[in-house]
Structure 1
Amino acid sequence: MRPSPLSLTGSIFMISEHGGLVEYHFSPQDGWEWVEHGTPHRDVTLVVAPGPCFDGTQLFVIGSDG
């Protein structure tokens, strides 16, 4: 999982071609790293790009189930 669970600062989120949520995260120690967060439940797909983060630690995504 993510090296720094306290903040989404320095991260870019996107949907992979396989439907999973991936993060490109900047770490001062290691530089840029890819973090895979997996896919939603098997009957759900992510339908739009990830939205804004809230409170610095929560990310909004929309699934095919609403």
Structure 2
Amino acid sequence: ATCSAVQLSPCLAAITKNTPPSAACCNKLKEQKPCLCGYLKDPNLKNYVNSPGARKTASSCGVALKC
């Protein structure tokens, strides 16, 4: 998968509004998993990827945010 944070747009509601993630969100999150650590290093994306909402969403999707 190409690393593109835009691919995670289906997760936006889950991350920002604390709603349960959709299947589309989880699929994209799993697809982008190899990219997540890179996103954590990006000052523009870090706050989103490292937010409690993002961590909860990742956890709900069974994706570990371990870098």
Aligning the two structures, in what range does the TM-score lie when normalised by the shorter sequence? under 0.3
More strand, by proportion? 1
Q: TM-score, normalised by structure 1?
A: 0.27
Comparing both chains, which one has the higher relative contact order based on Cα–Cα distances under 8 Å and sequence gaps of 6 or more? 2
